[in-house]
Amino acid sequence: MRLSCVTILLFAFFSGMIIVPDTAHAGWPWRKQSVNGTKKYSPEWWEYTGSLPVGSRQVYRHGKLWPPRPRPTDPQQTFAQQFHAAHFWPTPYVENDRNIIKVFEAAQINQGWKNATTLYGYHFNKETHDLTKPGREHVLWVMQNPTRHHPQIHVQASTERNINTIRLASVNNYIAEISSQTGRSLHVMLDVTSPITRPAVEVELYQKAWLDGMIAPHISTSSDGGDSGGN
């Protein structure tokens, strides 16, 4: 009797799987049907199903979307692929995000080194366009510090070609002088750029306005020296 009940329940269960439209659309597990133009269980089919997104799917039933929030509508992955995703989560799904962050980080670091190794217009004399003392000290700092990370120095380009020629010659001559003593050298190149910092005069004006606008500190005390808030 018990065996007959189990047989009836199994028959009803598998019959329901065949009759339900979604299951019928998916096909019987061992039926080799074509999915997305590939034969089921073929290498192309495994590659296709393995590339599908993980998680639940959004389906349309009874005039409603289940669930109502946006979800993939692709076919579901196999149980083995779902187990693989759950076992190794969040790998490999976070790798693309991490690689993108690394690309942005590398670009920012490179731009930072470029800014730190650039000789701007204020590093040159306004009349002769030769390196000033701060300019020479900056070249020396570049040769001592970021050579391993950024082995070159940039010179802010001017709109006048002769100014660019004088600036480059002044930097190259100073580098050659230092290289003869230290054995280190740098590649010099022009760069169309501008300083990112603010002029010192502007910073001084902001600082002065902030100090002038400060409210004098004031602490209220009682005349008898006691605690005015006590009873």
d(CA 54, CA 79): 11
Residue 17's CB is within 10 A of a number of other CB atoms, namely 14
Q: What angle do CA 44, 47, 50 make, to 5 degrees?
A: 150
pTM of the model: 0.56
Average pLDDT, the chain: 83
Binning pLDDT at 50, 70 and 90, where does residue 179 land?
confident
User: How do beta strands 118-119 and 152-156 pair?
Assistant: parallel
- What does the pLDDT average to over 176-193? 87
If we measure between CA atoms, which residue out of 87, 92, 94, 88 comes closest to residue 51? 92
